[in-house]
Structures are given as C-alpha cells and as structure tokens.
Chains A and B, each alone.
Chain A
C-alpha cells in the first residue's frame, strides 16, 4: 500500500495555494475536530485578520434519527459576521460529503455568505452528495474497512493515519 502523504507538507502546500485568493473579506471556519486543527494551522500560516471560526455540526447531522446525538458536541463559535464573507470551510478528510452539507446548513443559520469554498487536507473519494473541494491537499486511497483520520501529536504536529472503522 502506498504511504500516506505528510500532513505537515500538505498544510504548507494548501496555504501556498490559498494565499493568492485571500481578500479582506476572507474568513475561515474549521470543522471539529480534525478540520479545526487544520484551520488553526492555515489561519496562522496565512495571517488572516478575521478571527477563526470553529464549528461542530452535531446538531445538523442527517443521521440523528439513526445514531442519535454524539456525546460531547462542541460549541460552535463564529466570531465574525457571516453576511457577505468569503468563507473558507476547512475539514481534514472529504468522504461522503454529508458533513459539508450539514456545515453549510448550519452556516446559513448565521447569515448569507458571499461565497463558500471547501478546503480539505485529503479527499478519499466515495462521495454520496454533489460536493467537491476547491482546495485539496491530496487524493488518498483508503482500503475497505478503514477510515482516514487526522491526528495531532503531543508536539502539535499533524499527521494522517488509517484506522479500522468501528462497528456502528
């Protein structure tokens, strides 16, 4: 199996790719948990003026009826006006696209952004919804029965990892 790409390198690469598109209206939102780590990193690398937003989509998931609410939903904090903002929505891994749909639904309860672009560290395919990332660090093939996750080491370094899918 091919080696997983290095998350740290992908961060730098994404920041370089994003930099020419930053405007005074750009604001960034990271999705808990992995997307929030990545967004914190990108926000710093790009030196964005607008404070970083963090979002937990627990209350907007489409599988609530089947799976219930997860145990520790984080509080969504968007410390800027969403109306008219050019948003960069940041997640670690893009898979079915359901998280992104939920995030967009939640975002529109905060206001009407000028635009939303999706930034992901890795795209593992398997989309179930018509959603694609405008900025994507790498495409990664994930073997059946595994999931791709972003991890943050004790020293703050980010790394991609494969782990077995837990039975629902």
Chain B
C-alpha cells in the first residue's frame, strides 16, 4: 500500500495537501484545535508562542488576497516569522523551476511552505522533495483542492449546527472549476453529513460528480428545499467567455441566491460563500448581508483553522 503523503510513520499530520484521504480523527483534531485558537483570537494579546523561531514561507504562484492574508495573520499569531513571496512576479518568470525555487527557500531555513499554485498537484510534488522537518500546506492547487477552505467551511458548519448527522448541505454553482467544492464534499463525507447536494447548470458540474456521493440538482428551487446549509460558489468571470454560460444576468436568474429562493431552505439555514463574492451574479445583496449569512464569520474562523493546521503539522 502506498503511504499517505500527508501523514508520517506514526500517522500524524506532516503536510496538509487535501482533505481527501485524511482520516476522520485528524479532521476532528484540526477542528477541535481551531476551536481553542478561536479563544486566542478573541483576547487582547492575540498571539501564542508555539511557532517562535520558525519561518513560514507563503509561496503564491497565483494571486490571492484573503487566503494569503489569513495565512499570514495565522502564522504571526503563532509567533512565526512570515515571508510572502509573490512568485508570479519573481524567479519563475526568469525560468527557475518550482523545485529549484523551493530548494533555495529551504536553504534559507524554511519550516512551513504555504503553497498556492495553478497546477493541480504542485503542493504534492513539493511535499515529496522537502526535508523531514519542513512542512507543506496546500493553499489551493488548480481545480483540485483547497483543504484549509474546506476545513474552515466544516468548522463554520459545526459552529452553527453542532452536529453533522442529520444535515442537508447544498453546494451551488460552478462545481466544475471549484477546488473549494471538492474539498468540502470530501470533508462532509468524512464527517458523516448524510446528504450533500450539488446544484448548478450541466456545463458547470463535473461529469460523474455523483461518484463523490452527492445528489445532483439542475433546478435550484428543488435543490434548496429543506437544506440546513447553503454554500454558494463564486462564478468566475472568465467562465462567461468560454461559452459555458450565456450571461451573468441569465445565471443569476437560475442560480443566483435570493431571499425568495432561500425561503425554501430550513428557517434556520446558514448561507456560506468562500469569497470573493459577485453580488448580483451568484448571490443577492439581501442574502449576503442578511440574517442567514455567515460569510464574514467564515473569514474569522479561517484564521483559527489555519493556526490549527500549521501548529499541528509543525509539531
């Protein structure tokens, strides 16, 4: 059997690359640890000394504001030194290979690499080549995986709904291009959510998505019925060009979340969105800013979840 690349010989988390393949206990361990870090982020001194003297390199080969910032804040709250590298503008454009970039940073005594890359699998490649004391955290690779987003979504759901058993979760929109959706579906399955639905036009749902254990709905109203959690995905503007969709207006009409459509979900349903939102495309402002929305708490919880991940892998 091939060893799980995320775990060490003792079965402890060594790198966080994807939620797929993570044992349930480790997912729960991350969520529980994050819960304790929420306490830290609420105090006056929002810092603990766990990663003092360690260096976290944020390697972003693809632009990101929120994820990079929350990783940076998380690392700083763990007392690590943070180095942000915007590789799109650096050596890679001069022709340096990915592994050479990493080897050079390793020579600068890195402890954790936080990696975002447009190619699926890039963080796995790096994880195979780093030294034993170095750890890799995937901050989003291609269409494949975005595990810390998936974990913060799980954390948010658990925070508001307490238990996963009995929950119906709908994920709406561009599932095809969404690493967020993939990570969340794996997480929900791992934690035993009984019903996960995906809602979207055929052109934006991956072929064979049912194999992930989800129910597919083309009709949003039907799919939202009696949901406890509604996760809206960002419609990436570039999709409009590829003839996958007629127009933003047309998309909003069928798959945009409005207060009226949300009424079909349970009265205490929560609405989530990984950001950045396109108001008036996938979500109406009345919902985004409304009482069901937990979109901003998601961002706050993201810091605690990333603190948990980094302190568990580096420990």
Contact = CB atoms under 8 A, between A and B. Distances in A.
A111 B44 CA distance: 8
Interface in A70-86: 71-77
Interface stretch (B34-42, B204-212, B284-292): B34-42
Contact of A69 (B40, B45, B315): B315
A135 to B, nearest CB: 27
Of A71, A74, A106, the most chain B CB neighbours within 10 A belong to A71
Given A73-B32, A74-B36, A110 B49 contact: no
Interface stretch (A1-9, A58-66, A89-97): A58-66
Contact of B39 (A60, A65, A71, A77): A77
B36 A58 contact: yes
Contacts, number: 52
B312 interface: yes
Given A72-B29, A73-B33, A64 B39 contact: no
A76 B36 contact: yes
Nearest to A78: B43
B312 A68 contact: yes
A109 interface: yes
A64 B36 contact: no
B44 A110 contact: yes
B36 A75 contact: yes
Interface in A34-80: 56, 58-60, 64-65, 67-69, 71-77
A134 interface: no
Contacts of B45: 109-110
B38 A64 contact: no
A105 interface: yes
A58 B29 CA distance: 14
A110 B315 contact: no
A100 to B, nearest CB: 16
| Contact-residue size bin, chain B (C-beta under 8 Å from the other chain) | 20 to 34
B311 interface: yes
Contact of B312 (A69, A74, A106): A69
Give the secondary structure class of B's interface: helix
Interface residues of A, number: 21
B48 interface: yes
Give the secondary structure class of A's interface: loop
A68 B36 contact: no
Interface in B11-43: 12, 29, 32-33, 35-40, 43
B40 A59 contact: yes
Nearest to A109: B45
A109 B45 CA distance: 5
Given A59-B50, A109-B47, A71 B40 contact: no
B48 A60 contact: yes
Nearest to B29: A71
Contacts of B43: 109-110
A68 B37 CA distance: 16
Nearest to A111: B44
Given A72-B32, A73-B32, 16 more contacts: A59-B49, A60-B48, A64-B311, A67-B315, A68-B12, A69-B312, A71-B32, A72-B33, A73-B33, A75-B35, A76-B39, A77-B39, A105-B49, A109-B43, A109-B45, A109-B48
Interface of B: 12, 29, 32-33, 35-40, 43-45, 47-50, 311-312, 315
In the complex, the 4 A-B pairs of residues with the closest C-beta atoms, listed nearest first: A68-B315, A59-B48, A109-B45, A75-B39
